[in-house]
């Protein structure tokens, strides 16, 4: 290995601190990482995820070390270093290397250089008093669970018996799960392919394969030929749920209402010969649907449009089935996107729930009598799941809630399993409600 090609740690810490600063200013983690120079990106993503999973503790420690907040850029670097210094079984660097390189990053960042001595003093003090300072932060709920206090309170109300396990699951990394395309290869045959390639995996759900470690997706057997797609095991439930009871009909017209990037659209087409309209409000994201379907050698009609503004895109012919993967807080996929908990605000949930309600009501009008609508969110908050559907049923007498999983908890937290025949493994958090429209 040419070690001289590896970027120095101080540069990675500098870039990681900038990612944290960007997230604090409201930018998504994905966008912030996309802006990182390519040679640094993989290392910075790994460090950023580690920091975001420990940021609550780091912020509490910084408050103890320096009650008066330093300038934003300096605070981001200080909290980055403190997060990485918190005791961990898989700490990437030894303490003194990390501190020295953090100071180097401060000195070489013009906006932070004036605070380099201050950051040095804080970090050296932390090393001297670590056990005492860590003990102090145990009394801070956001530090202990590494989530905002409002988020923790909401989970305590929604899931009084499961909130701790939910938070713990959010702080673990989720597995890499694939969906096998049955039009190309059987799951058993694909598991054999993985074994031959030296990749350990287990079957999950009806179509899934959970890998025991991380790999470069493009290097997987048959990936470029469309044999598999990356999709969490819980998300893989959408297509079979919607098609259940409908798949025997010929010429089904299906709407995927918030379709980008197209994973669920593709799964529908892999499982049945249906006509799919994939709709999304964002033109750039619609382009991604095309790219994903092209790799899988599948075809759907795509359209840019706001699903809630039916008259702007609907041709007047009702749909037999509708998939509404509604915009939500993404509180069920925090372990894959650890920035989400720090980006969301308490007021976001009610606003998102209002959007979900608007979409449900609008799309119900384009569903054929006897047709089915599958409402799903990658959320564990009841306001975006169970309560949303209960409110919809109260005002729509033609809707019947069919047996569906309801809230599915991330990791091993599984209070609800209504229909699963095959174990789903270590999946993300989701909510599903399958609604049937009364026949005319």
Segment 10-60, tens digit of pLDDT: 999 999 999 999 999 999 999 999 999 999 999 999 999 999 999 999 999
Same domain for 177 and 264, yes or no, is: yes
Please identify, among 86, 115, 146, the residue that sits at the C-terminal boundary of a domain: 146
pLDDT of residue 2: 44
Q: How many domains does the chain divide into? A: 2
Q: Is the dihedral of CA 328, 332, 338, 342 positive or negative?
A: positive
Same domain for 141 and 157, yes or no, is: no
Same domain for 99 and 40, yes or no, is: yes
Determine if the peptide bond prior to 261 is cis (ω within 30°): yes
Same domain for 184 and 331, yes or no, is: yes
Same domain for 233 and 104, yes or no, is: no
CATH at 123: 1.10.940.10
Angle between helices 116-137 and 55-65 (to 10 degrees): 110
Please identify, among 120, 146, 172, the residue that sits at the C-terminal boundary of a domain: 146
What are the residues whose beta carbons fall under 8 Å from the beta carbon of 190, sequence distance 6 or more?
180, 209, 221, 222, 227, 228
Q: Which of 86, 258, 376, 378 is catalytic?
A: 378
What are the residues whose beta carbons fall under 8 Å from the beta carbon of 252, sequence distance 6 or more?
246, 272, 274, 275, 320, 321
pLDDT of residue 440: 74
**378 a catalytic residue:** yes
Q: What is the dihedral of CA 389, 392, 396, 399, to 10 degrees?
A: -20
pLDDT of residue 1: 39
Please identify, among 97, 120, 146, the residue that sits at the C-terminal boundary of a domain: 146
Which residues is 323 bridged to in the sheet?
256, 374
**pTM for the whole thing?**
0.93
* Phi and psi angles of residue 62, each rounded to the nearest 5 degrees, phi first: -60, -40
Same domain for 347 and 391, yes or no, is: yes
Which residues of the chain register pLDDT less than 50?
Answer: 1-3, 415-416, 418
């Amino acid at each position: 290995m040419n070690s001289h090609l590896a970027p120095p740690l101080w540069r990675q810490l500098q870039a990681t601190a900038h990612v944290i600063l960007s997230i604090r200013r409201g930018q998504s983690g994905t966008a912030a990482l996309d802006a990182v120079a390519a040679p640094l990106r993989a290392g910075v993503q790994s460090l950023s995820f580690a920091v975001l999973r420990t940021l609550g503790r780091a912020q509490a420690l910084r408050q103890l070390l320096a009650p008066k907040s330093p300038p934003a850029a300096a605070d981001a670097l200080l909290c980055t270093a403190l997060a990485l210094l918190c005791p961990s079984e898989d700490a990437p660097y030894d303490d003194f290397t990390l501190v020295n390189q953090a100071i180097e990053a401060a000195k070489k960042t013009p906006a932070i250089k004036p605070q380099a001595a201050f950051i040095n003093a804080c970090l050296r003090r932390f090393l001297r008093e670590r056990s005492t300072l860590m003990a102090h932060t145990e009394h801070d709920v956001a530090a202990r669970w590494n989530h905002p206090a409002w988020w923790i309170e909401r989970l305590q109300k929604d899931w009084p018996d499961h909130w701790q396990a939910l938070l713990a699951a959010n702080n673990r990394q989720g597995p890499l799960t694939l969906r096998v395309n049955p039009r190309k290869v059987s799951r058993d045959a694909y598991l054999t392919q993985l074994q031959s390639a030296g990749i350990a995996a287990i079957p999950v759900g009806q179509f899934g394969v959970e890998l025991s470690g991380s790999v470069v997706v493009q290097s997987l057997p048959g990936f470029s030929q469309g044999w598999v797609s990356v999709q969490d095991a819980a998300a893989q439930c959408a297509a079979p749920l919607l098609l259940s009871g409908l798949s025997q009909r010929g010429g089904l017209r299906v709407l995927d209402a918030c379709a980008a990037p197209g994973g669920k659209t593709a799964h529908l087409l892999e499982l049945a010969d249906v006509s799919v309209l994939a709709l999304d409000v964002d033109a750039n994201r619609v382009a991604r649907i095309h790219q994903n379907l092209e790799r899988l050698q599948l075809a759907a009609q795509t359209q840019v449009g706001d699903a809630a503004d039916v008259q702007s895109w609907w041709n007047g012919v009702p749909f037999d089935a509708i998939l509404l993967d509604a915009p939500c807080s993404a509180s069920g996929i925090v372990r894959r996107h650890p920035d989400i908990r720090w980006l969301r605000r308490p007021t976001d949930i009610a606003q998102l729930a209002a959007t979900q309600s608007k979409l449900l009501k609008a799309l119900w009008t384009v569903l054929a009598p006897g047709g089915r609508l599958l409402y799903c969110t990658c959320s564990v908050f009841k306001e975006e799941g169970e309560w949303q559907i209960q409110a919809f049923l109260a005002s729509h007498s033609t809707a019947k809630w069919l047996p569906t999983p309801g809230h599915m908890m991330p990791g091993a937290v599984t209070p609800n399993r209504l229909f699963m025949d095959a174990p789903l493994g270590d999946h993300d958090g989701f909510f599903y409600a399958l609604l049937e429209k009364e026949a005319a």
